Amino acid sequence: MQISPSILSADFANLESELRAIANADWVHVDVMDAHFVPNLTLGLPIVESLLKVSPIPIDCHLMIEDPDRWAPPYAEAGAQSVTFHIEAASDPVTLARDIRAQGARASMAIKPGTPFAPYEELLPELDMVLVMTVEPGFGGQSFMADQMPKVQQVREAVKRHGGDIWVQVDGGVSARTIEQCAEAGADVFVAGSAVYGAESAAAAVDELRELARGHRH
């Protein structure tokens, strides 16, 4: 059960100290948005390169961008330990996943709430993680979509069938109120933004979320 706080909810003017505040987390989740694939613009490769120099924990890059086939591998090359592309934007996901892995990173596929998982199940051997979005990507602070839990279950069952150490990540509206149902559905990596950075102590929020998830291991 791994917690990956999202710096989308952090103070962008003080990212180094915001990273130190979550040093007890497993990952830091970095949302890269290009204002094309999603209607928002956040940060890109130069900032990720800077974060990699100071982050006490590995970086999990979630690329909500068009043409990840071209733009995703450089994040792995820069040293991000996990790189997630959106299946809706990838033109050749097999080659892309292999390119990411060839740079030494974990390759991950994200699916939006409206995207079914079944057509992409055959990609599992190429992947290290599947991210089921529990909000529409593009903005922080949205409400959790419980109707995505059957999809999380579906992914977990497919992973069991295929074997291999493939993680199932959820991102969007994950909090102390919602994390248990995510864990019960089969998720084992949890992205939390405002639930961590909006708390009085980010580190204490990370510990609390991890304990709640562990109590409901699928």
CA distances from 62 to 10, 17, 161, 184 (A): 16, 21, 26, 23
Q: In what order do the strands lie in the sheet with 59-64?
A: 2-5, 189-192, 167-171, 129-133, 106-111, 82-86, 59-64, 28-33
Contact 186, 168 (CB under 8 A): yes
- Whether 188 is catalytic: no
Beta-ladder partners of 31: 62
Give Cα 20 to chain centroid, integer Å: 19
- Whether 69 is catalytic: no
Catalytic one among 11, 31, 34, 207?
Answer: 31
- Write out the two tokens for 137: 């990507």
Contact 84, 71 (CB under 8 A): no
Catalytic one among 34, 128, 171, 188?
Answer: 171
**Helix-, strand-, coil-residue percentages of the chain, each rounded to 5:** 45, 20, 35
| CA-angle at 23, arms to 19 and 29, nearest 5° | 55
Active site positions, annotated: 31, 171
